[in-house]
Chains A and B, each alone.
Chain A
Amino acid sequence: MELKKSITPKKNLSISNKFSMSYGKSEKLAGIAFVLPIAVLLIIFMFYPMIQAFIISFQDFNLISQKKTFIGFDNYINLFKDKEFIASLKHSFYFAMVVVPVQGIISLGLALLLQKKSRINSFFRTIYFIPVVISTAVAATVFELIYSKDFGLLNAILEALHLPTVNFLSNPDTAMNGVIILGIWKAAGFFMIIFLAGLNNIPADLYEAAHVDGAGKIRQFFSITLPLLKRTIAFVAIITTIDAIKLSALVYVLTGGGPSGSTETTVVYIFRTAFEQMSMGYASAAAFILFAIVLIISLIQMKLFKSDVEY
Chain B
Amino acid sequence: MKALTQLARYTLMIFVALIALIPILWMVFGSFRSHQEIFEYATSLNIHLIIPVEWTLQNYVDVIMDERNPIFQFIGNTLFIAVTVTVLVLFFNSMAAFAFAKLNFPFKNVLFICLMSAMIIPGEVTLVPNYLLMNDLGWVDDYKALIFPSLVNVFGIFLLRQFFEEIPKDMMEAARIDGASWFRIYWSIVLPLAVPALITLGIITFLANWDSYFWPLIVLNDDSKQMIQVALANFSSLAGTEWAKILAANTISTLPILIGFLFVQKYYIQGISTSGMK
Query: Taking beta carbons and an 8 Å cutoff, which residues of A are in contact with B?
Result: 3, 10-11, 14-15, 18-19, 23-24, 26-32, 34-35, 37-39, 41-42, 44-50, 52-53, 56, 110, 113-114, 124-131, 133-146, 150-153, 156-157, 159-161, 185, 189-190, 193-198, 201, 232, 235-236, 242, 246, 248-249, 252-253, 267, 270-271, 274-275, 280, 283-284, 287-288, 290-291, 294-295, 298
Contacts and interface: CB of A to CB of B under 8 A. Distances in A.
Contacts of A110: 16
A138 B148 CA distance: 26
B108 A31 contact: yes
Interface string B97-132: 011100111101001001100101110111111111
Contact of A42 (B115, B127, B183): B115
B20 A235 contact: no
Interface string B170-184: 000000100101111
Contact of A134 (B24, B88, B118, B151): B24
B26 A153 contact: yes
Contacts of A48: 129, 133
In order of increasing CB-CB distance, the 10 nearest A-B pairs are A31-B105, A160-B45, A194-B276, A30-B182, A31-B103, A52-B129, A197-B273, A34-B99, A49-B129, A14-B181
Given A38-B93, A126-B265, A131-B20, A28 B124 contact: no
B47 interface: no
Contacts of B17: 124, 127-128
A246 B122 contact: yes
A295 B176 contact: no
Q: Which residue of B24, B92, B258 has the most chain A CB atoms within 10 A of its CB atom?
A: B92
B193 interface: no
A310 to B, nearest CB: 15
Contacts of A280: 128, 132
B125 A53 contact: yes
Contact of A126 (B19, B39, B124, B262): B262
A118 to B, nearest CB: 11
Given A10-B183, A190-B272, A194-B275, A42 B118 contact: yes
Contacts of A131: 20, 23-24
Contacts of A185: 19-20, 23
A53 B124 CA distance: 11
Nearest to B241: A151
Given A11-B183, A46-B126, A232-B276, A156 B49 contact: yes
A25 B207 CA distance: 40
A287 to B, nearest CB: 4
Contacts of A127: 17, 20-21
A192 B130 CA distance: 34
A290 B258 contact: no
Given A41-B151, A135-B254, A189 B100 contact: no
5 contacts: A50-B121, A137-B211, A161-B45, A248-B214, A294-B120
Contacts of A159: 43, 45
B7 interface: no
Contact of B105 (A28, A129, A270): A28
A56 B258 CA distance: 42
B162 interface: no
B20 A130 contact: yes
